[in-house]
Amino acid sequence: MPMTRWLGRATLALAATSSLAGCEFAGPQSTLDPAGPVAQAQLELLAWSYWLSWLVMIAVFGVLAYVLVRFRRRRSDPDAVPQQFHGSVPLEIGLTIVPVLIVIAVAVPTVRTIFATETRVTPGPDDVVVDVTGYQWWWRFEYPELGIVTANELHVPAGTRVILNLDSADVLHAFWVPRIAGKRDLIPNQNNQLWFEVSEPGNYSGQCAELCLGAHAYMRLRLIAEPQAEFDAWVDRFTSAADRPVQTDPQVQRGHQLFATKGCTNCHTIDGYRAGTPVGTPDFPNLTNFGLRTTLAAGNLDNTRENLAAWLRDSQAIKPGNYMPQLWSEADPNADDEIAAIAAYLLSLGSDDSTLTQATLGGSDGDR
Amino acid sequence: MAIGRTPAHAGSSAETSLLRRPDGRSGLAGWMTTVDHKRLGILYMLSAFTFLGLGSIEAFLIRLQLAVPNQQLVSPDVYNQLFTMHGVTMVFLAIMPLGTGFANYFVPLMIGARDLAFPRLNAFGYWIYLFGGVFVYSSVFLGGAPDAGWFAYAPLTSLSNNPGNGIDFYMIGLLIAGIGTLVTAMNLIVTIFSMRAPGMAMMRMPVFVWMILVTSFLIIFAFPPLTIALFQVIMDRTFGTLFYVPAAGGLPILWQHLFWIFGHPEVYIIILPAFGVISEVIPTFSRKPLFGYPVMILSGIFIGFMGFAVWSHHMFTTGLGPVANTAFSLTSFVIGVPTGVKIFNWLGTMWGGSIRFATPMLYAIAFLFMFVMGGITGIMLAMPPFDAQANSTYFVVAHFHYVMGGGALFAFLAGFYYWFPKISGRLLSERMSQAAFWVLFVGFNMIFMPQHFAGLLGMPRRVQTYQAGIGLEIYNLVSTAGTFVMGLALAMVVFSVVRAFLSGQRAPADPWDGRTLEWSVPSPPPHYDFTSQPIVYARDAWWAAKHPELAHDEPSHEYDASLFDRGGIHLPGASWFPFVLAAGIFAGSYGVLYHNWPLAILMGLVVVVSTYGWAFEGVGGHHVHPGESAHAETGSA
């Protein structure tokens, strides 16, 4: 059973590669440091082909080196005419079979992994389903079964299968969180699906991997995998957001007003902002429970008071090309106060008066 | 009897012509009206190297921007234009025309013909390619270059997503440059089929000629889908059709299918001529015939054929589903087999030879090394699950630069050093060329080897900048440093070429102990190529003539040399019409682009009238009798 032996060797190779990854090739977006079964299967295939390719390289470059040394033109006899042979049928048949065997050795595990990782699945009762819509240059995440709409941070329970339905509102995008799963494109008028499972709770970073012009390089995202209980608590925060009153802090109260008067409500939705009257449109990032976010500007900055203020003041300096308008002129004397108020209001979202949000406590806990 | 079928005086219609047929060979007008395949070959190469320089400058700016994270040297908009123009330039305007240039110059010389079958069509092909390139580049001064990447995925190209003119320049520019590619391909096919020297059976042709033949067929079948796709987008943007408008139900994925049905064969359109060059250089510098000649040709044909069956491996992440991904994965693997066979046969050619490490051979060996690297990453990318991770990252960027740069470009540089003495009549300094080679080799690998790791660590391609602290810094910095090394190498190449023209040694006819017919004529060849019609009795015809005792083939047929060229050598006349026709299409394209219909219609008239003038210009030309006295030319029509 050569196949079993190969796969056995592939596992060995994988172990070697993983230990390699452990020290040198780990990173928040490293495909060599998988944190879920899909990315793991994809890496195993790479590892298998990687070691096979060493075999090929050693053989080919070994022969090449030998030939170059052995058959170099000698100074002693520069005019020697070597024997003019034109080929050898048995040798050529043999040398055709070698690449055929190599290709078969790669093809068998490839096909197996394709069907194991890319087969379209039907959502079951235990799965978490998220409708992902790509926009220039942010992500809309809607949990249809939970009634949650949010942006740029995808919360999922660890150890549960997550099914993403991918769509785009404008041009092509690609959803890619390297440590969890390979990418899948978001194409208008095409219902693509991507499913994966995250093995361990943690923050995993990803970004758009298909050119979408403008701020494409800044279209990042964070996938936050939590234990089921924390995920459920996060869901509760969202489903109760509309019922939570604005905090009593005067700066927050002022920010709440400015959020409408400065025009933010023209684009951005906040559940329960104004009782009975929805604000914003679905085509811009939904800011409900914004204070629970760990990042802002599509994963570009930690969600701290200072970063949020800098973003509100001059978003183009942080994410060139984005569609946020500049709301304050350079000379506006009220800018500092108003920005601080709006930032305070946004960061208060998601917490009660008595509790402090993750962000007000000093931002995220980093990527890993 | 390939040449001189036409009666000598058939071309007396010159008086009725719109533009008098030029008879001079010198000056600007001589070059603008030339139909000489060697001059057009030189023009192709000069243009291709110029575009290569522009593409390199763009690459340099891209690497400067990416040297360190979170840099704002160029804005995202400019950055998008830079990598789009870099890709368009290198693929369509530099590397592919370089192959066409070599084909133009050497296919006739290698098969013992004195020109292509349709010399004026050949001139037209060159001018429309050049004008296509100039057209695309004029966008830089007219509001901004295209910015949607070299494969311009819909709906990034729709009017609502991309209101500037850049995309129009891309679409129309590629369309008109494609005309040149198509007519030249047809011209080469007819030439190779019908104008070979007596005795030059198909299975005696140099492998370079074979690969050009296969490539030309690929062009004929690959360009129509591209043309359709370009037309659709031009119609969408100019006349408001809705092929790629999602809001109206358009399916953006269609563009990807049409583009890659063209785009993958395009890769082989670039690499097969490179294989051909390598198959000439390695035997010459190993002093041995090519190992497994028929297998080399069959594997080239097989690669070309399979090239049409793998396009969706560029689209593994578009959600085609596991069955389609499996099918296209397997067909892609299959291509690894004939490619591997080619590698083995090149090694077999060197085995037992007497290998001389002249500059062309160094480039050929480097080609083998880097093409194997690019081939291996190619097999990896043909595994859809891994491609899901690597697609659209710097791993892919590294892969195709090893194939297109380390593969095709290094092969063409081997060809450049191999044939430079023949074309220019000068020898390049071997010492300086070898020094430049090593610097180039080191620089190239410095740039592209680290990009594999950047991609695996999560760096997508086409990003204007990247996050600090996720492990990408060192790879990008080394890569950028490599551009300086490679820039130094290119400067050394240019310097040595200039010096060769100023003070280089005269090249003999056969400086490398060549094997094919181009080495049987002086360097540079006279404009009539061959003083007398060569007659071929073996594969590697020139080698066989030098070493009749070692000849492999038995002459199947005796030819009477006195039957050929009896009325002198007929050479086609120069003509203004190819240039004028191409210029008309060029100027008319601006009319279409700017919706300036009077200009478009006027230029349409120029096209019609110059086509008419071309058709009725007559055969023209004149006869030379180099055998009788060196420069006697008579019978000017």
Interface test with A, best of B170, B323, B467 (most A CBs within 10 A): B467
Cross-chain residue pair A213–B393, CB shorter than 8 Å:
no
pLDDT of B539 higher than 60: yes
Q: How confident is the model at residue B1 (pLDDT cuts 50, 70, 90)?
A: very low
Maximum distance among all alpha carbons in chain A? 97
Angle at B209 between CA B205 and CA B214, to 5 degrees: 115
Distance of alpha carbon B369 from alpha carbon B445, whole angstroms:
11
What are the tens digits of pLDDT across the range A311-338?
999 999 999 989 999 999 988 999 999 9
Among candidates A29, A60, A86 on the partner chain, residue whose Cβ is nearest the Cβ of B458 = A29
What is the pLDDT, as a whole number, of residue B550?
77
* Closest CA–CA distance from residue A65 to any residue of chain B (Å): 10
Stretch A74-81: mean pLDDT: 85
Q: Which 8-state DSSP code applies to residue B93?
A: I
Cross-chain residue pair B355–A205, CB shorter than 8 Å:
no
Return the minimum-mean-pLDDT range out of A196-205, A243-252, A281-290, B433-442: A243-252
Among candidates B149, B365, B547 on the partner chain, residue whose Cβ is nearest the Cβ of A68 = B365
- Three-state secondary structure of B449-512: HHHHHHHHCCCECCCCCCCCCCCCHHHHHHHHHHHHHHHHHHHHHHHHHHHHHHHCCECCCCCC
* Closest CA–CA distance from residue B433 to any residue of chain A (Å): 19
Alpha helices, H only, A175-321: 228-239, 250-261, 305-313, 315-318
> Is A203 in contact with A365 (CB distance < 8 Å)?
yes
Using CB atoms within 10 Å of the CB of residue B194, give its burial: 0 to 12 exposed, 13 to 18 middle, 19+ buried. exposed
pLDDT of A288 higher than 80: yes
Report the run of H or E that residue B159 belongs to, with start and end. none
Among candidates A53, A84, A92 on the partner chain, residue whose Cβ is nearest the Cβ of B288 = A84
Q: How confident is the model at residue B22 (pLDDT cuts 50, 70, 90)?
A: confident
A321: left (phi over 0), alpha (psi -120 to 50) or beta: left
What are the tens digits of pLDDT across the range B438-450?
999 999 999 999 9
What is the pLDDT, as a whole number, of residue B234?
95
pLDDT of A19 higher than 60: no
ipTM value for the complex:
0.91
Spatial strand order in the sheet of A153-157:
A153-157, A220-226, A202-207
Q: Which residue of B has its CA nearest to A109?
A: B383
Cross-chain residue pair B357–A72, CB shorter than 8 Å:
yes
pLDDT of A14 higher than 60: no
Among candidates A107, A189, A213 on the partner chain, residue whose Cβ is nearest the Cβ of B333 = A107
Cis-peptide into A82, omega within 30 deg:
no
Report the run of H or E that residue A174 belongs to, with start and end. strand A173-177
For residue A119, give Cα distances in angstroms to A364, B57, B323, B385.
35, 44, 9, 11
What are the tens digits of pLDDT across the range B253-308?
999 999 999 999 999 999 999 999 999 999 999 999 999 999 999 999 999 999 99
B570 pairs with which residues across the strands?
A: B623
Q: What is the pTM of this model?
A: 0.92
What are the tens digits of pLDDT across the range B467-492?
999 999 999 999 999 999 999 999 99
Spatial strand order in the sheet of B633-634:
B569-571, B622-624, B633-634
Give Cβ neighbours of residue A153 (< 8 Å, ≥ 6 apart). A141, A221, A222, A223, A224, A293, A294, A295, A299
Cross-chain residue pair B330–A111, CB shorter than 8 Å:
yes
Interface test with A, best of B343, B380, B539, B547 (most A CBs within 10 A): B380
Cross-chain residue pair A174–B317, CB shorter than 8 Å:
yes
Between β-strands A202-207 and A220-226, what pairing exists: parallel, antiparallel or unpaired? antiparallel
For residue B463, list chain A residues with Cβ-Cβ distance below 8 A.
207, 216-217
What is the pLDDT, as a whole number, of residue B635?
39
pLDDT of A304 higher than 90: yes
What are the tens digits of pLDDT across the range B385-413?
999 999 999 999 999 999 999 999 999 99
pLDDT of B618 higher than 70: yes
For residue A190, list chain B residues with Cβ-Cβ distance below 8 A.
251-253, 318-319
pLDDT of B14 higher than 70: no
Spatial strand order in the sheet of A192-197:
A148-151, A138-143, A128-135, A161-168, A192-197
* Closest CA–CA distance from residue B436 to any residue of chain A (Å): 20
Give Cβ neighbours of residue A67 (< 8 Å, ≥ 6 apart). B347, B350, B351, B355
- Calculate the average pLDDT of chain B: 92
Kindly list the structural domains of chain A, giving each domain's residue range(s) and its CATH number in brackets, ordered by start.
2-69+87-118 (1.10.287), 128-237 (2.60.40.420), 241-348 (2.60.40.420)
Alpha helices, H only, B287-409: 293-306, 322-350, 359-381, 384-390, 394-401
What are the tens digits of pLDDT across the range A230-241?
999 999 999 988
Question: Which two structure tokens, joined as six digits, stand for A277?
Answer: 């009257």
Distance of alpha carbon A29 from alpha carbon A209, whole angstroms:
12
The residue type of B333 is F
